[in-house]
Structure 1
Amino acid sequence: MTWDIINFSSLYSIDEKVSQLNAAQQRMERVIRDIEEARRLSVINIQKVLKN
């Protein structure tokens, strides 16, 4: 029985998954910002329509 103490391919795989998670987090944050901006603009537009 052998123990592979440092398996470089698995380290690469872990680093790749961390990068994918970070990218997904950034995409999610961008989508949240876009939704919040659209919500704010909708509120402004509704307020303008109600004033007229």
Structure 2
Amino acid sequence: MSKYRFITPHRAGKWYSDLTLAQKFAHVIGAGFLDRRSGEFVAYPGTRLEVAKLAG
């Protein structure tokens, strides 16, 4: 099982249980946005995805 969050140069997002949720709420910290037309995630420059692998 994994957890996901986006990191910007100045902020770190909350951990989410799946990537879709992390992408949906990335705008809260200014990490990017979900494009409504294409359904694709657009990350702002300097944004990175952090993945934590959980044992189990």
What is the TM-score of this pair, normalised by structure 1? 0.20
**RCO comparison, higher one (Cα < 8 Å, 6+):** 2
Q: Which has the higher helix share?
A: 1
TM-score by length of 2: 0.19
